[in-house]
Amino acid sequence: MKNVTVKTFVAIGIGSALFFVLGRFAAIPVFANTSVNLQYAFLGFMAVVFGPLAGALIGLIGHSLIDFTSWGPWWSWIVTSAAVGGVIGIVGRKIDVEAGEFTTKSAILFNIANVVGNGIGWFIVAPTLDILIYQEPASKVYMQGIIAGTANIVTTAIIGTLLLYAYSRTRTKKGSLDKE
């Protein structure tokens, strides 16, 4: 916790608030009980910009709040959100958007992080915990995991990448000053 700056903790706070608002009010229903969850694209973005600790905690706090204010804590999926944020943060460590650079290479790296993070989370962690904790039928929870995971990977790939690109444009490039 030594090398973590004050900014990271503020980012965790505000990020969780945004995660909550996006999850609660900006979800686009596709069909019964399923919606496009924009908050996971945002989570991937924050994990890359502010690091794995921020990613994990935004997932944890944001998802807990959504659950606590709606259907009660659903720990298997809360843990999954935290894991997704953490893994994307770790894999995406090399991407340096702060320096104003977002190349094709960083986009590919981000999407590898995206597939690894969301894949591990929704295809493995969530259904396995659902079975261990809640003993729901395996076929049902793996189906849910595959639907949720695929949707999250696709939204993160499109919206997360766009967000990172837009963000890198707002940063000043290294050596961008010219001597006249």
Partner 1 sequence: MSSKLGLGYINRCSPVHSLTGATKFLMAVLSSVAAMITYDTRFLAAMIVGAAIVFKISKIRFREIRFVVIFIAVLMLINSVAIFLFSPEEGVMIYGARHEIAHLFGRYYLTQEQLFYMFNVILKYFSVLPMALLFIVTTQPSEFSSSLNRIGVNYKIACSVALTLRYIPDVKRDFDDISRAQQARGIDMSKDERLIKRLQNVLSVIFPLIFSSLGRIDTISNAMELRGFGKNKTRTWYNDRPYRIADYLAIAFCAVLVAVSIALNAVNGGRFYNPF
Q: How many whole angstroms separate alpha carbon 23 and alpha carbon 105?
A: 30
| Min CB(23)–partner 1 separation in Å | 11
Instruction: Tell me how far CA of residue 49 lies from CA of 7, 28, 145, in angstroms.
Output: 11, 25, 26
Contact criterion met (CB below 8 Å) for 155 and 36:
yes
Q: How many whole angstroms separate alpha carbon 63 and alpha carbon 79?
A: 9
State which of residues 98, 99, 105, 136 lies at the interface with partner 1 (CB under 8 A).
136
Binding status of residue 147 toward partner 1 by CB under 8 A: no
| Min CB(21)–partner 1 separation in Å | 5
Q: Which is nearer to partner 1, 65 or 87 (CB)?
A: 65
Q: Which is nearer to partner 1, 135 or 179 (CB)?
A: 135
Token pair 């905690």 is at which residue?
Answer: 57
Q: Which is nearer to partner 1, 14 or 105 (CB)?
A: 14
| Min CB(89)–partner 1 separation in Å | 15
Q: Residues 19 to 78: which contact partner 1 by CB under 8 A?
A: 20-22, 24-26, 28-30, 32-33, 36, 38, 42, 45, 57, 61-62, 65, 67-75
Q: Smallest Cα–Cα separation from 160: which of 39, 47, 42, 81?
A: 42
Length of the chain: 180
Token pair 């969780």 is at which residue?
Answer: 16
Binding status of residue 175 toward partner 1 by CB under 8 A: no
How far is C-alpha 66 from the geometric centre of its chain's CA atoms?
15
Count of chain residues binding partner 1 (CB under 8 A):
58
Q: Smallest Cα–Cα separation from 69: which of 133, 14, 21?
A: 21
Q: How many whole angstroms separate alpha carbon 117 and alpha carbon 128?
A: 16
State which of residues 99, 108, 146, 166 lies at the interface with partner 1 (CB under 8 A).
166
Please give the residue ranges that form the binding site for partner 1 (CB under 8 A). 1, 4-7, 9-18, 20-22, 24-26, 28-30, 32-33, 36, 38, 42, 45, 57, 61-62, 65, 67-75, 133-140, 143, 159, 162-163, 166-167, 170
